[in-house]
Chain A
């Protein structure tokens, strides 16, 4: 009987504590800066083009091979009469979010800090009705950072 009362005591003592639960879809827990949702591409505001040069480093390092990268000559490069210092630039980019295991390796291998992990709740809430919709193309991957909605944390 003593043990039972002790158990009840623990249960009762919890009434006096602050609740730890949240009403999830309405209230979101603040996410830490380093949170990793899915990778997205970053936008170079100074030159008004993506940072990504299409160097394929991330594509080769991805453990689940969920990325596809195509590069092209940069039409805005200096030699073409533009202002950019990037000779090559990304042409097409797909990431299959359905396969990505969010391991952060693509961010680590990128030499241009052109890719980062989304650390917002939009990055986590990716439910779709069709799996094919999880394949993100270049405009989708760039949109969020271009609009200034995310500030990914990239390990120094």
Chain B
């Protein structure tokens, strides 16, 4: 811990250390930070993580490739399809599996829908952090629920889908899939409009967020930030564009960037990204054709040849990477998850120092962390 910071005053003052979390409604999970404050101004932040550590990487090494998928859901519980995708794509690359076209398109649709549901969660929770208590939260949850209902109809579960498989999908989507996606998109578009109208121009919201928690592009890159946090600083890095996977090279979408790198930009980037996701899904739906959802020849127990791979995809919170070492056999020898939230959280100290105590919550909220992913 750093030595108490003293200030030039007529009388001597001492900085106050206050503890925030782990049980705090605004820490988005179990996260603790110790704030060193001088009056209202934050002088230093010491974050403590690890409360949610479940040894996930090691645990996944004891599970075969199908069992591990269920585990991936639990590391990233707001973007489960994206997390599963990284994992199954790593296995596919190691085992050199061909994935049928239909499975790829469905994966893309589900991942983008998952991005929507995750960003809805963000806008709601962030609105609450910024003082729009309740309204934004319940509105965004209403929209998120529509998407989760669709996921439940497809995979059977509201949160822990375990729906992707190495080689394709566990089973085909229901017959009314196209109609249901159209319905969901309709309500989602309305939802995006609502969130936009509710917050983007709201003066109170802007007063709380503009020029708060600013981070420059160079700093964001140095800290290893990815996803909307990096793009809000003006760096157009989107893995869907820079190293396309699935069929992202065949669809049209814009990489959304901000200019200031402040909390407000991070919010606006995400709202705009939601519109882009809707665009991607609409294009995917046009390209979706009937066909198989698993390769013709798939062994009962998948084994991979020895090798190693690092595979990354663009999850809603940034780069979600899987480093997998195989020594042959039906389970990874070593699995490492590159967590986007963990890297983004590193920048918290830089962003928070010098701001007000009340803004610390807003800055943390703007990073959109999932503590299960940070600690794994």
Contacts and interface: CB of A to CB of B under 8 A. Distances in A.
Interface of A: 1-4, 6-7, 9-11, 14, 20, 31-32, 34-36, 61, 63, 101-105, 108, 117, 119, 153, 155-156
Contact of B70 (A2, A6, A32, A101): A101
A2 B201 contact: yes
B190 to A, nearest CB: 9
A69 to B, nearest CB: 17
9 contacts: A2-B201, A3-B205, A4-B202, A10-B194, A32-B149, A34-B152, A34-B155, A103-B160, A105-B162
A119 B158 CA distance: 13
Contacts, number: 77
A10 B197 contact: yes
B70 A63 contact: yes
Contacts of A4: 202-204
A103 B152 contact: no
Interface residues of B, number: 36
B259 interface: no
A155 to B, nearest CB: 4
Contact of B171 (A11, A32, A63, A156): A156
B142 interface: yes
Contacts of B66: 61, 105
Contacts of B152: 31-32, 34-35
Given A1-B203, A117-B156, A7 B71 contact: no
Most chain B CB inside 10 Å of its own CB: which residue of A1, A36, A61, A103: A103
Contacts of A7: 132, 197-199, 201-202
A156 B206 CA distance: 52
Most chain A CB inside 10 Å of its own CB: which residue of B63, B157, B203: B157
A11 B198 contact: yes
